[in-house]
Amino acid sequence: METSRHTLHRTASLALIALLLVGSAGVSLATSGEALAVARPTLLDVPTPTSCDVLAARPLTLNRWGFMTIRGDELTRHARRSDWAITLLDPQFRLPSNYAPASTSLTWIDTHARLSEGRGWQLKLDAAVALRAMFLQAREDAGLILRVISAYRPYDLQNRLLARLAARKGINKARTLIAIPGHSEHQLGTTVDLRGYKNGAWMAANAYRFGFVRSYLGEGRQSETCYASEPWHWRFVGTTIAYEVACSEQVLRIFLWERQHGADRVIGPNCGELTPPVDYPMPEPSPDPNPSAEVGPSLEPSSEPVQSAEPSPAP
Ligand SMILES: [Zn+2]
């Protein structure tokens, strides 16, 4: 089972991090402004999220305002505007219907992700700037001509899109193709749908450097994401979290779930060739507690990268 495998993998990596930090008692690392102790045992107590099969079988119903909703869903824990990078959305967790990014934080972009004035799509400014930089790099590196085909979608627009699709395909098919209102990452104002990515290899290897994560992986990961593969759908979470997601080998849904239950970052050897953000607080190798000691066989932790299960680029 994928979740178990990743939990074990993460546990192993934390043991390595703990080794690297031997002798550095009291060291803690800042994550998004929080000071988190390294290698906390609470990691093993992270509960398993409700399975996608169970969520997919839940009936749809109309809420009191006449909008489609999933019976038994609940408000996501991080539903403040300032939580946009860590807001967990899936068929279980949703945003309030009145959630919208501050209008002053949104900007208009055209299909090439250039800032435009009232034309094209709306996106949070930070995401838009990063998206434009990614478009330029993709063109330079791989000749890709990326295009925007969707970005911010308010709750009521998501509802109209669902209704339109349901009229054509039936609601049971439509719900597997498009999120129920409140459950869409597009409502955050940080998410785009793209075209022009071709086989997706450049994006899989590089998008994290610009702060983007592919939320809905294919290749057997649908039981973790709860949605079919969407190689066009990219969510901006900032470079720090995007780097950590890439390092973790987890899908975003599971990464955010574990993070909100106290799991710590996965950094160090498991990150392989990934490039951390410029100001990323990497753990320092522990100083040699006894530098004058005679060199010989020992069990001292090494600061050399440890060969372990390498993270593979997302499909
Ligand atoms: Zn999308």
Measured in Å, residue 178 CA sits from the centre of ligand 1 at: 8
Distance of CA 102 to the CA centre of its chain: 22
Measured in Å, residue 14 CA sits from the centre of ligand 1 at: 33
Residue 297: the pLDDT is 38
Measured in Å, residue 306 CA sits from the centre of ligand 1 at: 37
Measured in Å, residue 191 CA sits from the centre of ligand 1 at: 7
Measured in Å, residue 187 CA sits from the centre of ligand 1 at: 10
What tens digit of pLDDT does each residue of 16-35 get? 333 333 333 333 333 333 33
Residue 266: the pLDDT is 64
What tens digit of pLDDT does each residue of 241-269 get? 999 999 998 999 999 999 999 887 666 55
The share of the chain scoring above pLDDT 70, in percent, equals 74
Q: Per-residue pLDDT for 7 more than 90?
A: no
Measured in Å, residue 194 CA sits from the centre of ligand 1 at: 8
CA dihedral 80, 231, 200, 105 (to 10 degrees): -30
Q: What is the DSSP letter of 105?
A: G
pLDDT averaged over every residue in the chain: 80
- Residues with a beta carbon under 5 angstroms from ion ligand 1: 193, 233
Measured in Å, residue 152 CA sits from the centre of ligand 1 at: 9
Does the pTM of the predicted model rise above 0.85? no
Highest mean pLDDT among 49-58, 59-68, 297-306: 49-58
Q: Per-residue pLDDT for 313 more than 80?
A: no
Which pairing describes strands 121-124 and 191-195: parallel, antiparallel, or unpaired?
A: unpaired
By the 10 Å C-beta count (0-12 exposed, 13-18 middle, 19+ buried), 184 is classed as buried
Distance of CA 291 to the CA centre of its chain: 42
Residue 32: the pLDDT is 38
- Give the CATH fold of the 50-258 domain: Muramoyl-pentapeptide Carboxypeptidase; domain 2 (3.30.1380)
Residue 269: the pLDDT is 56
CB 10 within 8 Å of CB 21: no
Q: What's the average model confidence in pLDDT over 157-169?
A: 95
Least Cα distance to 96 among 215, 234, 188 occurs for 188
